[in-house]
Amino acid sequence: MAITAASTPALALLGASDRPMPVHSIYASGVNLRCGDYLIHASTEPHGGVCSLGVSARDVELLCREPAWQWTAEGLVGLDGRRVIRLDDALQQYPTSPPPSPALSAATPGRLERARTRTGQHSWFDSGPGRGVGLPRLRKAICALVERPPDGLSHLVGIIGLGTGLTPSADDALVGALCLISAAGALPGEPVEDLRGWLGAEGVASTTDVSLSYLRLALEGEFSAPINRAVACLSDSSSQAELEESVRGLGAVGATSGMDTALGIQITCELLSLPTNHPDLQ
């Protein structure tokens, strides 16, 4: 019984935690532990999650038996003191910071659009409501991150929680946008700080707990391995085959979450590739 893999944010949150962490939610392959404003996902299939621990199926069963867990120097300990999930000696730690800035060109958005199309998978934004209501609002929200207009926060908060799924579609798309913007070194200070403050106050009830955790991590520059891989492959040094493989891997996340995220990256890529005097950026 041991933790075999862990993301750097998960280890940082665990190390800073001095209170019991209740079990927030239980799934077939793992559980979420509540750690302050964040959720740590302990699963048999971490897949490079942004705030995840890799554990065995037996460990998942143990986690489900206790209402809360404490982090100590040896690992996770049940409140009864008898159940322990230790750190493995061969623990694999993986980073979650965005890749170095990809070299975008005028051809990059087209390459990404082809990669998304060839997956054969769909985003919620491909549905009728998604196209008619969601997509225009999503474009305005992502443009607010890139252009930073005075009313940018209103566009951002207006999109949070829109869509379907455990992590609503618009939230997933914003996480993708934030990854590319962070990688490009263009993460805006004021809109991000305002959004972080809103998510910690009146915005708490705007979306799911799982999505809130991902959004908060994204605003701190932390992203899952599939998202980082797709953004890294936008560089002109990556082949079209490599880009398509990374988008297929991202698309395998959730029912539509991966493709929603890919769309957010796509829109951001289009905006970052436009000349600064383009009307879409005014």
Task: Please tell me the distance from the alpha carbon of residue 47 to that of residue 222, in angstroms, as a whole number.
Answer: 15
**Strand pairing class (21-26; 30-35):** antiparallel
Query: Could you count the other beta carbons within 10 Å of the beta carbon of residue 208?
Result: 16
Assign residue 56 a region: left if phi > 0, alpha if psi is -120 to 50, beta otherwise?
beta
- pLDDT tens for 105-149 read 899 999 999 999 999 999 999 999 999 999 999 999 999 998 888
How much is the pLDDT for 161?
97
Confidence band of 270 (pLDDT split at 50, 70, 90): very high
Q: Which amino acid, residue 215? A: L
- pLDDT tens for 32-71 read 999 999 999 999 987 899 999 999 999 999 999 999 999 9
pTM of the shown model: 0.94
- pLDDT tens for 181-219 read 999 887 767 788 899 999 999 999 999 999 999 999 999
Average pLDDT, the chain: 92
Q: Is the pLDDT of residue 277 over 50?
A: no
* Closest to 120 in 3D by CA, of 262, 8, 272: 262
